């Protein structure tokens, strides 16, 4: 593709929809926003797919006309943003999309593990919500997908930080995981482990009690024996458990593991 000015464009889908050129916000109508967001999230697609995705309640002819008008208006307002290849539409691949960056960051954590910028990664991931307030099915699917990816990333950061002796980061990452899934016992275990290793048994007990009460109220079950033993051993004997007893079993990326573990 030629240099059409899209190199300077930034599309934000995390937090709220926003299209910028450097520091200037470009104002685009809601109908065009939906099309741009769909192309950023779903990638290049046929017009026939996009009309069904964005205007499912319209007759085919009306939906195709709505798509044609949206493409025309985007081309006038932000030339080069949408690549029109006849039956296929796509977003210019020079546009910097924040959702793509966050997914790349998660992949880096998955393949390469922790690095010196784990603190900034935690902050960036913690605030990464896709288009909050948008309730269309295709957006909600992406919201759920990213939440699960973030949950896995926070768990991996917490586990690796514990193993490296970076207990404060381990606790913060576990708390971030619990903001997404409050009943995820692996994250509770990691949080309690971080608090015990920071010589803060009172905080560990509070974390356990919050989880126990919520689990009982929401699900009518009790924490696993392993989690209960972890907290009772630490408090009864005032001893620091062995590291292998603090870390949840299994792969840190939760391959095939259920969110709840109970006896």
Q: For 111-136, write each residue's pLDDT tens digit.
A: 656 665 676 778 889 989 999 999 99
What is the per-residue pLDDT across 212-229, written as a single tens digit (0 to 9) for each?
A: 999 999 999 999 999 999
Q: Quick one: pLDDT at residue 235?
A: 79
- Alpha carbon distances (Å) from 220 to 127, 227, 263: 31, 17, 13
Which segment of 70-84, 88-102, 241-255 scores lowest on mean pLDDT? Answer: 241-255
Helix (H) or strand (E) segment spanning residue 175: helix 167-180
Does 35 have pLDDT greater than 60? yes
Is 7's pLDDT higher than 70? no
List of domains in the chain: 6-94 (1.10.10.10), 101-246 (1.25.40.10)
Q: What is the mean pLDDT of the chain?
A: 87
Alpha-carbon gap, residue 177 to 147, rounded angstroms: 9
What pLDDT sits at residue 155? 93
Least confidently predicted of 81-85, 120-124, 187-191, 249-253: 249-253
Q: What global pTM score does this model have?
A: 0.82
pLDDT at 149 over 90: yes
């Amino acid at each position: 593709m030629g240099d059409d000015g899209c190199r300077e464009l930034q599309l934000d889908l995390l937090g709220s929809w926003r299209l910028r050129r450097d520091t200037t916000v470009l104002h685009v109508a809601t109908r065009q926003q939906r099309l741009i967001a769909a192309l950023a999230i779903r990638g290049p697609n046929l017009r026939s797919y996009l009309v069904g995705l964005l205007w499912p309640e319209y007759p085919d002819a009306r939906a195709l006309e709505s798509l044609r008008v949206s493409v025309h208006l985007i081309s006038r307002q932000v030339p080069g943003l949408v690549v029109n290849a006849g039956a296929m539409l796509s977003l210019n691949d020079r546009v910097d999309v924040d959702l793509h960056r966050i997914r790349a960051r998660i992949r880096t954590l998955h393949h390469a593990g922790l690095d010196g910028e784990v603190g900034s990664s935690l902050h960036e991931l913690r605030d990464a919500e896709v288009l909050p307030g948008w309730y269309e099915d295709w957006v909600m699917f992406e919201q759920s997908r990213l939440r699960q990816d973030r949950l896995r990333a926070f768990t991996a950061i917490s586990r690796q930080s514990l193993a490296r002796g970076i207990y404060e980061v381990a606790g913060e990452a576990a708390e971030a995981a619990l903001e997404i899934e409050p009943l995820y016992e692996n994250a509770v275990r990691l949080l309690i482990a971080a608090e015990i290793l920071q010589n803060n048994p009172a905080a560990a007990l509070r974390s356990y009690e919050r989880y126990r009460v919520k689990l009982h109220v929401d699900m009518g079950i009790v924490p696993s024996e392993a989690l209960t033993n972890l907290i009772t051993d630490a408090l009864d004997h005032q001893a620091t458990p062995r590291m292998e007893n603090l870390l949840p079993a299994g792969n840190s990326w939760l391959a095939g593991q259920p969110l709840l573990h109970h006896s």
